[in-house]
Structure 1
Amino acid sequence: MVFELIQARSTRFTTLSVRTFCLAIASWGDLTELLDQSEPVTPGHTSLKTSEFSFDMGNVDAELRTFKWYHGPLSRHAAEALLMVNGRDGSYLLRRREEKDMSYALAVRSKDSVKHFQVEWRDEAGFSFGLSTFPTVKAFADHLANEPLLGSETGALVRVRFPYPREVAEPTFYDPVIVHTALKSGQSSDSISAHVPSLGSKEGFLTKLGNHVKTWKTRWFTLQRYELKYFKDRQDTHPIKTLDLTQCTGVQFDYSLQRVNCFCLVFSERTFYLCAKSALEADEWIRILRWKVNQVRKQSK
């Protein structure tokens, strides 16, 4: 009995080893093709390890690259810049998160912001996305092709509609240099500081307390860079007011007005009181707003 059990396990191990070897041979062409590409690579692509995980990772990424909406390793900021500048409501792309292997994010533009939905590849199950699991890359791609309606616990629903390609047609001509003179002297590359604000976009309905007339009204808020704008309605194009977060001195929960899920933004001339529909939504707004204010403080040091 014991001998039969050992023999069965040994046979299973041999079968798995053969399967791994076959996967290695079958995926060699895909992996070498990946190595020839000029985009940044990760150890999962360049290392021809003997583990089945390494080959699976290469296969998944290679198959994803057959879809134009997959952009490979891409930062959150770069994804938002592409979709906000050149996309439209419903434009989307899939990017691999730079800090983690086999972890992806589906970036979708929703009017004045970009939402980032986590997508994970699991060897045993395939793509885990939202409330569903897709056993193959093709199954996941087919799901996106059917324009799913997505929503988190906060914010508005967004429809996945327009794939944003990683390759866009570009002109091949350049501007000639006619004038070329330095306007400073004695500077070195060490003295140059490169910095731009993160888009860090967010949008949603919040209830705001009026300034002169102390009534609560629901407004549509959008956050981009260091500007928090609010509108009378989501369809409006002209904001009622734009708050400059570089002038904000604090963001915190507020319990003074005896309302739930409230927080405030403190400015020298006024404190703005806002309420969300849920504690989770209030926490999300506070986290992103505090992060923005902290970025301002770091730059001023």
Structure 2
Amino acid sequence: MSYYSDASSEDMHDELETLGWYHYDLSRHAAEALLLSNGTVGSYLLRNSNGGPDCFALSVKAQDSVKHFHVTRTEDGYMFGFNKFTSLQQFVSHFANQPLLGSDTGTLMVLKSPYPWRVEEPSIYESVRVHTAIQSGRTGNDLVADAPPLGTKEGYLVKQGAFVKNWKQRWFTLNRYELKYFRDKMCEEPIRTLDLRACSAVQFDYSHNRVNSFCLVFPDRTFYLCANTGVEADEWIKILRWKLSQIQKGR
């Protein structure tokens, strides 16, 4: 099915400027980290690709991964595969009812919720070009309700003790460059706050007889953590590694 119109390049340029989910020069890696940590299945965003000024990538969160689709701007619309759309909003409306197909795995996905770029984060993440609604001066009508800040994550992990090598469940929160853990979700005071600026590596751990285990390497100690599922472990590792990469860039 194809769509054609007399849409001008200027109209399409104006549409991009007002599109609340266009993240322009957000990288592929950063898009994956953002959607995996904060998005839900069907969350999507548009970003520039390396193919040229009229080439874009639509990044969509699947069940346990992020899929990327090529979108090309022409003189009178947008091309996606063999389909042509007069506007990006028409493209989204079309695929809100008909699923996208991830060709590498055959995964079917429906575009459910745009991920906005107007969310707050510290200056260390300027490379991902995140802005606030106040800075934009525009309304928040196209924002996802209660969208969490970029790069935050929380959840239960099992942690190995420092001296007695037993494993206990703790509630972890990740915000900016601080990883805190609490006795449980209801506690207000953390047991400890880890400063990721001192962390040298985040990696899977195969030294313990536990699946879904990973570790954070600090100068004075390596913290061993375990997630409930492989998907959760992968999400934690990806967002933590992304944090470290952004900290390195800010130095």
* TM-score after normalising by structure 2: 0.51
Amino acid across the alignment from 1:98: N
Give the SS at the match of 1:220: strand
Match for 1:95 among 45, 59, 63? Answer: 45
The worse-fitting range, judged by mean Cα deviation, of 227-236 and 265-274 is 227-236
Q: CA deviation at 1:106?
A: 5.4
Structure 2 partner of 1:105 = 59
Distance 2:242 2:39 in 1: 26
CA contact (8 A) 1:207 1:275 kept: yes
Q: 1:123 aligns with which of 68, 81, 85?
A: 81
Check conservation: 1:227, 1:244, Cα contact below 8 A.
Answer: yes
Q: 1:118 to 1:222 in 2, by over 3 A?
A: farther
**Bigger radius of gyration:** 1
Confirm or deny: 8 A CA contact 2:48 2:56 kept in the other structure.
Answer: no
Aligned: 1:272 with 2:223: yes
**RMSD between aligned alpha carbons?**
4.8
- Letter of the 2:220 counterpart: E
| 8 Å Cα contact 2:124-2:250 kept in structure 1 | no
Task: Tell me by how many angstroms 1:70 deviates.
Answer: 4.4
Q: Name the SS of the counterpart of 1:222 in structure 2.
A: strand
User: Deviation at 1:232?
Assistant: 3.5
User: Cα–Cα, structure 1 residues 38 and 136, in superposed 2: closer, same or farther, change >3 Å?
Assistant: closer
Aligned partners of 2:186 and 2:225: how far apart in 1?
20
The separation in 1 between residues aligned to 2:225 and 2:45, in whole angstroms, is 33
Match for residue 196 of structure 1 among 118, 124, 147 = 124
Higher helix share: 1
C-alpha separation between the residues in 1 aligned to 2:158 and 2:231?
A: 15
Larger RCO of the pair (alpha carbons < 8 Å, separation 6+): 2
Match of 2:5 in 1: 27
Does the CA contact (< 8 Å) of 1:252 and 1:265 recur in 2? Answer: yes
Q: Is the 8 A contact 2:24 2:46 kept in 1?
A: yes
Equivalent residue runs for 1:31-110 within 5 Å: 31-35=9-13, 37=14, 70-71=21-22, 73=24, 75=26, 94-99=44-49, 101-105=55-59
How many residues are paired up? 186
| Separation in 2, partners of 1:255, 1:165 | 37
Following superposition, the deviation at residue 264 of structure 1 comes to 1.9
Provide the TM-score with structure 1 as the length reference.
0.44
Matches within 5 A, 1:148-187: none
Q: Give structure 2 stretches of 5+ with no counterpart.
A: 71-79, 85-89, 99-111, 129-149
Q: 1:137 aligns with which of 92, 101, 122?
A: 92
Are 2:173 and 2:179, in contact at CA under 8 Å, matched by a contact in 1?
yes
| Residue among 142, 147, 157 paired with 1:206 | 157
